[in-house]
Amino acid sequence: MPLFSNNIFNYDQQAITDLIITASLKIIFALAILLIGFWLSRRLQKLIIRALRKSSLEPTFISFAGNISYYILLLVFFVLCLAQLGIQTSSLVALLGASTLAIGLALQGSLANVAAGILLVLFNYFRVGERIEVAGIEGVVESIEILSTTICTYDNRLVTIPNKQIIENNIINHVGKPQRRIDLVVGVGYEENIDHVRSSLQWVLDQNSEVCAEPAPTIALGELGDSSVNFYVRPWVKSEDYFRLKLQLTEAIKRKLDEEDISIPFPQRDVHLIQPETKELDIKTA
């Protein structure tokens, strides 16, 4: 008598077939959920970015919000995919929570930079393309990333600064306002006529069409220096034109003063030498 009858063999074969079909269907449904998750997450990411672009939010924040939404939705669909396969997701969530805590403790510095990056974007301290000065570095903002900010200095060097260091330092935004004042000090000789000097300086400002009419520029005798009479010349210009116009106006003022024969003295000091009286010594010879 055989150990296994044909009925038992047929039953085992049918059970294996049913098991394979059931597992295959679960895998197919799980893959379908995952593929739909990829498509839907990407679709929703584009919709969120498109909606945020209609506001006045920083482009860096819009990109960051879109990426975060994409990965969160993708994680949700991944958990659903595991549930479809029959995997207990409760234990997985607990494991992810413990792993997140451990990673957070190990990456405290990086998380601080992430938090600082979010603050920089939310409060809009500066934008890409603006001229700023922070942590001893001055230049144009190249990019604002979630961990660091890259600044291109005026001599074309790229400097990457951690966001935490930026938040903890004073931030000077040179183009945060539409207009900026140029402060020039022009020293002339004491023998020069004050009204003549003032009219010459005013002529230079009037000839430059990029100097703002409002607020009106200021030309005033500021101080009586050791070697010169110093005039304060303070025109207002557009913030993006500040550095270029400062150089142009400095050169134009020098040319105008030379044309009007107005002297620009250099620091000088009179030194009086006092020699002590010499006494004749009588030398007695023996």
- Residue 271 inside a domain? The answer is no
Residue 87 pLDDT:
64
94/19 same-domain check: yes
- Residue 269 inside a domain? The answer is no
- Residue 1 inside a domain? The answer is no
Residue 286 pLDDT:
45
- Residue 96 inside a domain? The answer is yes
> Burial, 112: exposed, middle or buried (Cβ in 10 Å; 0-12, 13-18, 19+)?
middle
22/85 same-domain check: yes
147/209 same-domain check: no
- Residue 254 inside a domain? The answer is yes
Residue 254 pLDDT:
95
- Structure-token match 């002590």, residue found: 276
Residue 186 pLDDT:
95
> Burial, 15: exposed, middle or buried (Cβ in 10 Å; 0-12, 13-18, 19+)?
exposed
Q: How far apart are CA 21 and CA 107, in angstroms?
A: 45
> What stretch of H or E contains 152?
strand 148-153
Residue 81 CB contacts under 8 Å (≥ 6 apart), including other chains: 30, 31, 33, 34, 37
Q: How far apart are CA 201 and CA 214, in angstroms?
A: 18
By C-alpha distance, which of 145, 163, 167 is closest to 109? 163
Q: Which two tokens stand for residue 66?
A: 């879109």
How far is C-alpha 99 from the geometric centre of its chain's CA atoms?
A: 32
Residue 241 is given by DSSP the state G
By C-alpha distance, which of 72, 76, 51 is closest to 61? 51
- pLDDT < 50 positions in the chain: 1, 3-4, 105-107, 285-286
Domain harbouring 16, CATH code? 1.10.287.1260
Domain harbouring 199, CATH code? 3.30.70.100
Which residue type does 36 have? Answer: I
- Residue 92 inside a domain? The answer is yes
- Residue 253 inside a domain? The answer is yes
Provide the residue range defining the domain that includes 200: 179-259
The structural domain count of the chain equals: 3
- Residue 206 inside a domain? The answer is yes
96/24 same-domain check: yes
Cβ neighbours, 10 Å, residue 284:
4
- Residue 154, beta-bridge partner list: none
Q: Give the tens place of pLDDT for each residue, 28-72.
A: 777 777 788 778 878 887 887 777 777 766 666 677 677 777 777
- CB of 234 closer than 8 Å to CB of 249: no
29/70 same-domain check: yes
Which residue type does 118 have? Answer: I
